[in-house]
Amino acid sequence: MTAKAQLPLVGVVIPVFNDWSGVQLCLRALAAQRYPRERLRVRVVDNGSGDWPSQPQFPLPVEVMHHSLPGSYGARNRAALGWNVDLLAFTDADCRPDPQWLTEAVQAWQGHASANCLLAGRIVLEAQDAVAPTAAEQLDQILGFDQSRTVRRGGFAVTANLLVPQSCFERLGGFDASTRSGGDKDFCRRALAAGCTLHIASGALIRHPARQWSELLHKQRRIVGGQLSLAEPTIAARLAVLWRALRPLVSESVRVCRAPRLPLSRRAQLLLLVVRLRLAVLKEWIRLQARDQQPLR
């Protein structure tokens, strides 16, 4: 690590909605960071939670902010816009940053020597029982949070582990606060169009619990809702969202088939879950065609 005087001031942004226990674990992991504490700031944005204690305590110095409007992207903007830091480090309340997370991220950022460089850190999905994961957890481990693949094929990184120069974030006006999903993709693509670059920082590691079935369903339904909120209000645009939401059925099935060391019975079980997820997406898309229906958060 370079001399402390040369280190950027890093601001960690954590939105949270009804996950008090999760954000406590995340903050404990941040308290164990090997990055110099005097060059670290943390903002937790409560997005309308109902499970916080009356007198919350935290394992490290934290600035608590509140954002009452539903939506994590608006909550992130509340913390990040106008903040006097050099580098924004976005993560989620259910994430556990590795002790070297920020040290590795800053080294990668300084190595690219560009004020317009965005970084996608690595995310590892962990089952509750590493020896015997549930089918849903195993499916999430195969399909979920592959940052290298997301950057390479999609041209964006997810906010569970995304680092952005604050000047770049400010110039672009932050995330689109009107959507509840897909704001990371929208922001990264606007940043690339404005001349920024996006790189993988594989050493900047964050751990995330692999999802159970109800969580997988909720995520996929939330994603299609976010895509609809960003789409033009035309039939053609909404049908395009449906096509993009159903298209992964093929690629996800292929990835399950290619996953190593899976018994045939478990592989068939995972393929059935893939089909069920896409059917849930179709059902959610149909639900959201009604004028009074709101996307999930």
- pLDDT tens-digit series, residues 218-260: 999 999 998 898 889 899 999 999 999 999 999 999 999 999 9
Strands (E), 156-213: 162-165, 197-209
Is 72 within 8 Å of 90 (Cβ atoms)? no
Which of 60-69, 109-118, 187-196 comes out lowest in average pLDDT?
Answer: 109-118
Domain assignment of residue 46, given as a range: 4-209
Is 1 a residue whose pLDDT tops 60?
A: no
**Other Cβ atoms closer than 10 A to 286:** 11
For residue 173, what pLDDT is reported?
97
Angstrom distance (rounded) from CA 34 to CA 103: 7
Average pLDDT (114-141) is 94
Q: Does one domain contain both 70 and 173?
A: yes
Q: Does one domain contain both 163 and 149?
A: yes
Residue where one domain finishes, among candidates 174, 209, 244: 209
Is 95 within 8 Å of 176 (Cβ atoms)? no
Give CA torsion, residues 33, 35, 39, 40, to 10 deg: -20
What CATH number corresponds to the domain at position 169? 3.90.550.10
For residue 4, what pLDDT is reported?
54
Average pLDDT (64-85) is 96
For residue 235, what pLDDT is reported?
94
For residue 6, what pLDDT is reported?
83
Average pLDDT (107-127) is 92
Average pLDDT (102-129) is 93
Q: Does one domain contain both 205 and 219?
A: no
User: What is the model's pTM?
Assistant: 0.89
Q: What is the DSSP string of 8-33?
A: PPEEEEEEESS-HHHHHHHHHHHHT-
Structure tokens at 108: 């990668």
- What percent of the chain stands above pLDDT 90? 87
Residue where one domain finishes, among candidates 184, 209, 234: 209
Report how many domains make up the chain: 2
For residue 230, what pLDDT is reported?
85
Structure tokens at 41: 């700031």
Q: Is there a domain that residue 160 lies in? A: yes
Nearest by Cα to 90 from 73, 103, 107: 73
Q: Which residues contact 54 (CB under 8 A, 6 or more apart)?
A: none
For residue 179, what pLDDT is reported?
87
Burial class for 236, CB neighbours closer than 10 Å (0-12, 13-18, 19+): exposed
Is 58 within 8 Å of 27 (Cβ atoms)? yes
Structure tokens at 277: 């997820």
For residue 2, what pLDDT is reported?
46
For residue 5, what pLDDT is reported?
54
In DSSP terms, 198 is beta-bridged to 118
Quote the mean pLDDT of the chain.
94
One-letter identity of residue 181: S
For residue 14, what pLDDT is reported?
98
Structure tokens at 57: 């305590």
Q: Does one domain contain both 133 and 67?
A: yes
